[in-house]
Structure 1
């Protein structure tokens, strides 16, 4: 990184923090701090909702996901528009009518305090872990790639977010997220066009897409019914919908974004805006990853994209074994480039026979390359089992640092850190609000001034910020970061969504049945996940259905046992 990169990086991040603090420096009461005074317009809500979901993990992991596995991950979002429609029709009118500060406040009005507390605690557990991961994700990767100290990065990112989130509350989060989304999308578009510009002169965008398709990277739709397949059309339209319903409808980090709307209509338009743009945005980010894949078919790539892993194995007794695999990798890269060029030429000449032969060679070489990379991972793991061998999250950052010109490196790093800050800010804001209002205020006796709860929200936000930094400092990676966050959510979200659906639609069910069912469901879901009985996306539908079924059984048994002729209202 040059001086220009540092100036752009530091200037972008500091300007966002300073602007957020200055713009939202006055908060007179809880409504101002928690709901931003209900002043947000629909475009602010829409961008804030998108920025909350689009963490640094999105821009680090998603391109790497596409590089290795293709575009199929976009199916994960197919259920989101359906979820947005349901939330707009059911959740938003109820929340606004009751004038609640938090989603869980509604549960006490419908059931009782213990049900509200349980849902709030489940949220605090999963979102507290997620907040730590959203700080840890960019830190671990930037630390490995740039050689920066990991814990120092965790503290820097966490502290920057804490400053303006504690100061301005929801309004500060919403205001800064508009700037962050602008920085993020500008940086991604610039990176995309530079990737296309770096392809060989005869490889047009159309040819690049055909090469990606021939390499099986554009297989978007999978209509199989396997519950073991993580990303299929059906898991996206069902499990993805349930996850989106739970996340946007019951997760305070999102609910707080649209509760700040000026009216029901503004909140609804904001969510529809998100529902319309989210899939195209994710499609584009995956497409960036696919173009990175095409780029590396014609340019040298490391055997493992994690520089810390390469360093660890080269300093071990397995260095010679790894070197042999690197030599094989170089030969395969040369053969791949020849096969890709032959395929591109065959396309230009419209020679289907030559194109088919070249495609077979490409697929065979890619399979050999994958096998070689897996062998490298095994050796790295032998050399140092503490090093992350799964390098999906390092692919895009490797391209940024090694191929983008000076200045743009700083901008793309600002994109990654801005995304981390935007998502973490929403999470800390929600964690502080839930702790202050659902737990502290609800259980505090006596009368205090309204300003007291503003201070309490700030204190709890600060505490959760410190907790998130501590979680980031002790966190560990597995598989792929964007999947890790969704897995954590899926373990809890289905259960919580089921509680809310019972509250909305099943007046027959009372509090005790819901409370016991929720506890049992959470235990069962954790067991099912630990035994790997189904893909994590299906856990959302499973948990939701299970808590509703158990609640019906328990409620029916209780009513039958107490009074078979009881009048149901």
Structure 2
């Protein structure tokens, strides 16, 4: 990184922190601190909802996911617009009618305190883990590629977020998220157009799409019912709808965003805005990853994008074997480049024929085999090193190909996204702790300022805990999948509790409480023993808790 990159990066982050702190200082009431004074317009709500979900993981992992697996991951989001409509029709009117500060307040009025507390605790567990991951995700990757100290980076990100989130609460989160989303979209669009610009002369955007399509990267829809496939049309529509319903309808980090809306209409418009833009946004981010794939058809790429992998295998007995694999990879990459250029440029063809497509697929298969062989060598040389390099693909492209200044901007994009999501999570964790656990269980009456101060203290404590989780976390298969897996383990159960509250009026609190405990244990077992792709855990948990609760309640009636 050059001096200009450091200026852009540090200047952007400092501006966000100072702006958020300045614009929102002096919250005097719980309403101001937790619901932002109910002043947010629909576009603020919509951008805040989108920014909360679009963490650094989105902008680091998603392009890498597309680089390796193509556009199919977009199916994960197909259920989101459906969920937005349901939430606008059912959840938002109920929350506003009851004038709640958290989603879980409603459960006490419908059931009892123990059900409210249990659901709040389930939220606190999974969101507390996720808050640490949103800090850890960019930190582990940036520390690997830039040589920065991981622990110091975790602490730096966490402290920056804590400063303005403690100071201004919900309003600080919403205000800064508008600036962060502007930075994020600017950076991603610039990166996209630069990738197209860097392609060889004669390779237009349409031809780049053909190259990607011939390599199997443009297969968006999978209508199969194969349970071994994580991302299909059906898992996205069904499992994705239940996940989105759970996340946007019952997760306080999202509920708090639209509870700050000026009115029911502003909240509903904000969610619909998010529903309309989210799928195209994810499609675009995946397309950036596909274009990175096309770029590397004409430019050499490392055997493993994680720079620590090559460092770990140097000066071991596997060094020579690894070098041989690098030579084989280079030969395949050169062969692919010559094949594409010969067909598309020398012969001036506008379409990739079936023969070229077959040859490309064979070469791509051979490349995958070589990369897998390299991963096995890395594990033998040093089992501690993470060999899954999906999360390193995009940052490798940024650091090795973008001009000065833009590297700093794209790093600001990544860290801004991390700060945005983490701020929402800390804000929601503190609100739930203060309102659902602390305030509800305190005997004597306290002043408004007392609860504001308590919320600030809980924000600080959750921020410290998130930093600790980040410092002790470890990489998973893919960071964006890890966050969704954590959510899927808990969300189905929580959504089922809310659906029981909304639509199953005969079910009482004891039946729901017992059913929720049993369901959570079963879902954790189901995830651990890999009973099904994780997206289906949302539907599984939801159906399970509803079934158990109705069964227990029916048995209770039959005994009377």
Q: Tell me the equivalent position of 1:557.
A: 555
Q: Tell me the equivalent position of 1:33.
A: 33
Q: Tell me the equivalent position of 1:567.
A: none
Once the two structures are TM-superposed, the CA of residue 318 in structure 1 deviates from its matched residue by 1.5
Listed as ranges, the matches of 1:258-277 within 5 Å are 258-277=258-277
Once the two structures are TM-superposed, the CA of residue 326 in structure 1 deviates from its matched residue by 0.7
Q: Which runs of 5+ in 1 are unaligned?
A: 563-569
Once the two structures are TM-superposed, the CA of residue 159 in structure 1 deviates from its matched residue by 0.3
Q: Which runs of 5+ in 2 are unaligned?
A: none
Q: Tell me the equivalent position of 2:432.
A: 434
Q: Tell me the equivalent position of 1:531.
A: 529
SS at match of 2:104: helix
Instruction: Give the one of 441, 460, 468 matched to 1:443.
Output: 441
SS at match of 2:546: helix
Once the two structures are TM-superposed, the CA of residue 321 in structure 1 deviates from its matched residue by 1.3
* Cα distance in 1, alignment partners of residues 396 and 464 from structure 2: 30
**How much is the aligned-residue C-alpha RMSD, in angstroms?**
0.9
Q: Tell me the equivalent position of 2:506.
A: 508
- Give the aligned length: 560
Name which of structure 1's ranges 173-182 and 334-343 shifts more when overlaid on structure 2. Answer: 334-343
* Cα distance in 2, alignment partners of residues 274 and 351 from structure 1: 36
Normalising by structure 2, report the TM-score.
Answer: 0.99
The answer to whether the 8 Å contact 1:211/1:344 transfers is no
Once the two structures are TM-superposed, the CA of residue 486 in structure 1 deviates from its matched residue by 0.2
CA displacement 1:498-539 (0-9 Å, x = unmatched): 000000111110000000000000000011111111000000
Q: Tell me the equivalent position of 2:382.
A: 384
Once the two structures are TM-superposed, the CA of residue 342 in structure 1 deviates from its matched residue by 3.1
SS at match of 2:46: helix
Q: Tell me the equivalent position of 2:486.
A: 488
* Cα distance in 1, alignment partners of residues 194 and 354 from structure 2: 30
SS at match of 1:103: coil
Listed as ranges, the matches of 1:298-337 within 5 Å are 298-337=298-337
The answer to whether the 8 Å contact 2:176/2:420 transfers is yes
* Cα distance in 2, alignment partners of residues 184 and 318 from structure 1: 41
CA displacement 1:54-94 (0-9 Å, x = unmatched): 00000000000000000000000000000000000000000
The answer to whether the 8 Å contact 1:57/1:137 transfers is yes
The answer to whether the 8 Å contact 1:83/1:244 transfers is yes
* Structure 1 stretches of 4+ moved >4 Å: none
- Are the structure 2 counterparts of residues 552 and 439 from structure 1 closer, same or farther at C-alpha, using a change threshold of 3 Å? same
SS at match of 1:25: coil
The answer to whether the 8 Å contact 2:48/2:178 transfers is yes
Listed as ranges, the matches of 1:211-250 within 5 Å are 211-250=211-250
Once the two structures are TM-superposed, the CA of residue 334 in structure 1 deviates from its matched residue by 0.6
Once the two structures are TM-superposed, the CA of residue 479 in structure 1 deviates from its matched residue by 0.6
* Cα distance in 1, alignment partners of residues 146 and 507 from structure 2: 55
* Cα distance in 2, alignment partners of residues 420 and 316 from structure 1: 36
Name which of structure 1's ranges 83-92 and 441-450 shifts more when overlaid on structure 2. Answer: 441-450
Listed as ranges, the matches of 1:46-65 within 5 Å are 46-65=46-65
Q: Tell me the equivalent position of 2:78.
A: 78
Listed as ranges, the matches of 1:324-403 within 5 Å are 324-345=324-345, 348-349=348-349, 355-403=353-401
Once the two structures are TM-superposed, the CA of residue 314 in structure 1 deviates from its matched residue by 1.5
The answer to whether the 8 Å contact 1:227/1:538 transfers is no
SS at match of 2:27: coil
The answer to whether the 8 Å contact 2:51/2:420 transfers is yes
Once the two structures are TM-superposed, the CA of residue 346 in structure 1 deviates from its matched residue by 8.0
The answer to whether the 8 Å contact 2:399/2:407 transfers is yes
SS at match of 2:388: coil
The answer to whether the 8 Å contact 1:343/1:359 transfers is no
Listed as ranges, the matches of 1:148-187 within 5 Å are 148-187=148-187
SS at match of 1:220: coil
Q: Tell me the equivalent position of 1:189.
A: 189
* Cα distance in 2, alignment partners of residues 162 and 377 from structure 1: 38
Q: Tell me the equivalent position of 1:565.
A: none
Once the two structures are TM-superposed, the CA of residue 245 in structure 1 deviates from its matched residue by 0.1
- Are the structure 2 counterparts of residues 390 and 502 from structure 1 closer, same or farther at C-alpha, using a change threshold of 3 Å? same
CA displacement 1:177-222 (0-9 Å, x = unmatched): 0000000000000000000000001100000000000100000000
* Cα distance in 2, alignment partners of residues 340 and 467 from structure 1: 51
Q: Tell me the equivalent position of 1:459.
A: 457
Q: Tell me the equivalent position of 2:198.
A: 198
Once the two structures are TM-superposed, the CA of residue 28 in structure 1 deviates from its matched residue by 1.0
* Cα distance in 1, alignment partners of residues 478 and 2 from structure 2: 30
* Cα distance in 2, alignment partners of residues 170 and 351 from structure 1: 52
